[in-house]
Structure 1
Amino acid sequence: MQSYKAIIFDIGGVCVGSPFQGIAKYERQFNLPKNYINVAIEKSGENGAFQRLERGELSIPEFYKIFGVELSDPINKGYYLQYLRSRKTSNIPSLPDKITIDGKKLFRMMMSEAAKINPVVYNAIKKLRVNKFKIAALTNNFQLPIQDQEEIEILGGSPPIEFKKLFDEYIESSVIGLRKPDPKIFLYACEKLGVKPNEVIFLDDIGTYVKPF
C-alpha cells in the first residue's frame, strides 16, 4: 500500500476561488463566446504575457498593456475556430470583425474571484496537519505592485498571514521563476518538503498540471 507523506495544494481554484470564473464573467459581459479568452491565453505559449507575469518577468503595468494587445490579436479568432473543430462542435458561432479585450479590466475581474478563500478546503488542510502530513502550496501567481496600494486592494492583496501559515512551504512561481506545468517546479516542491514524488498527492484544478511527466 502506498504511503503518502505530503499533500501539495494549488491555490487558485482549489484553496480560493478560480480566476476562470472571472474570465467567464468577462466573456458574458462583453458577448464573447465561451472559452475564447482561455484559448487565446493558452495559445500565447510560455512567452505570453500571462505566463511571463507568473514567472515574475513583467510588472503589473507592463503586463496589462501586453495582455490586452495579445488577447485582441485577430489571430486568436483562428485559434478559437480550431479549438471548436477539435471538439467536434457543430454550432460554430459567428465572431465579430474586431475583438478588443481590456487587459486591465479582465485581470481585475479574474483576481476578484481568486480572493475568496474556500472554507471547505481551509478546514480540510487544518485536519490534515493534525494527521502529520506535510502540506505545501504550489501556485502560479504574480508579484503585487508594492508602490500602488489602490491597485493592491483592487487585485485582492496577498493571502492573509493566517492562511499562509497553514502550509509548511508556500511556493510561488513569480518568486522562484518557474511555473506549472514545468516539471522542475514540482521537483523543487518535493525537495523543499524533503519527500519523493511518489510520496506526494498533488491537487490542482487544471488537468494539464496533474498529468505525469
Structure 2
Amino acid sequence: MAVEAVIWDFGGVFTSSPFEAFNRYEADNGLPRDLIRRINATDPDTNAWALFERNEIDTAGFDELFLKESTALGHPVPGREVLPLLSGSLRPRMVAALKACKQHFKVGCITNNMVTHHSPGADAPQRAAGAMGLVMPLFDHIIESSKAGVRKPDPAIYLMMCEALSVKPDACVYLDDLGVNCKPAAALGMRAIKVVDVDQTLAELAAATGLQFDQEALA
C-alpha cells in the first residue's frame, strides 16, 4: 500500500538522544555506564518511568520511586536529577525532513512524556523558543502518553494514531530511536525505521517514501 502517513517519535529523533546525557551524568557521578537505562528497563510496564509517562504519579512520586529502584540496583540516584537530562539539542535536518514529508503525507507524533516535563501543554513561554515549540505545531496530530494514559510500546497507542489520521497501519512509516518501540509498529504493518543517526534515518526515510532529501540543503 502507498504511504499515506509518516509518524514520528520526538526525543532522540528531532533532538539528540537523552542516552548521551544519561552517560555523561553517569560518568560525572562515578556510576556504571548505562545504569539509568538499566533502571528504566527493569519492570518496564510498572516502574517509576512507566508510571510517570502514564501520568499515574507526580514529580515527587517519580523522584522517590526512581531513587528506590536505583538504590535496589546498588547506586542511589534521585529521580529529580534525571529529568533535566531529557532535553536534547535540536536536529535541523530532521525538522526539514518533517516539513518535506508534511507536503506529501499526513504527519503525526507519538511521544512518551511526562506532564511536568517536555509536554506540549506545559510551560508554553519557556518551550516556545525551544525544540518542542518549533516542531510540535507541524504535526497533524500528537499523542502524548501522559495525556492518553497509554505509552509505547503498547500497540494501542499506534492504533490510536492511525484512527486519528484516518489511515491503516500498512500505509504508515514510523520512526523511533528505540527498537522496542519500533517492533509493535512493524507488527501492525507499519514500515518501522529505527533512528540511529541522521544520515541513516534520512536514507531509509527516502527509500520508504520515495522523497529525496537534499543533504546539502538539510545540513
Aligned with 2:3: secondary structure? Answer: coil
The one of 104, 108, 112 aligned to 2:80:
104
Q: Which residue of 1 aligns with 2:59?
A: 60
- How high is the TM-score relative to the length of structure 1? 0.77
Q: CA deviation at 1:158?
A: 8.3
CA contact (8 A) 1:9 1:203 kept: yes
Partner of 1:182: 154
Q: CA RMSD in A?
A: 2.4
Q: Mind listing any 5+ residue stretches in structure 2 that lack a counterpart?
A: 188-219
TM-score, length-scaled by structure 2: 0.75
Q: 3-state DSSP class of the match of 2:132?
A: coil
One-letter amino acid of the counterpart of residue 176, structure 1: A
Q: Max radius of gyration: which structure? A: 1
| Large movers: runs of 4+ above 6 Å | none
Deviations 1:172-205 (A, max 9, x none): 0111001000010011111111000000000000
User: Residue 168 of structure 1 corresponds to which residue in structure 2?
Assistant: 140
The reply to whether residue 120 of structure 1 matches residue 115 of structure 2 is: no
Residue identity in the other structure for 1:112: S
Q: CA deviation at 1:167?
A: 0.3
Task: Provide Cα deviations, 1:37-72, integer angstroms capped at 9, x if missing partner.
Answer: 211211132110111111111111221121122112
Task: Please give the alpha-carbon distance, in whole angstroms, between the structure 2 residues aligned to 1:157 and 1:3.
Answer: 34
Q: Is the Cα contact below 8 Å between 2:54 and 2:114 reproduced in 1?
A: yes
Which residue of structure 1 lines up, in the alignment, with residue 40 of structure 2? 41
Q: How many pairs does the alignment contain? A: 180
Which structure carries more relative contact order (alpha carbon 8 Å, separation 6+)? 1
Percent identity, please.
32
Tell me how far apart the structure 2 counterparts of residues 112 and 14 of structure 1 sit (CA, whole Å).
12
Which segments of 5 or more consecutive residues in structure 1 lack a partner in the other structure?
Answer: 77-97
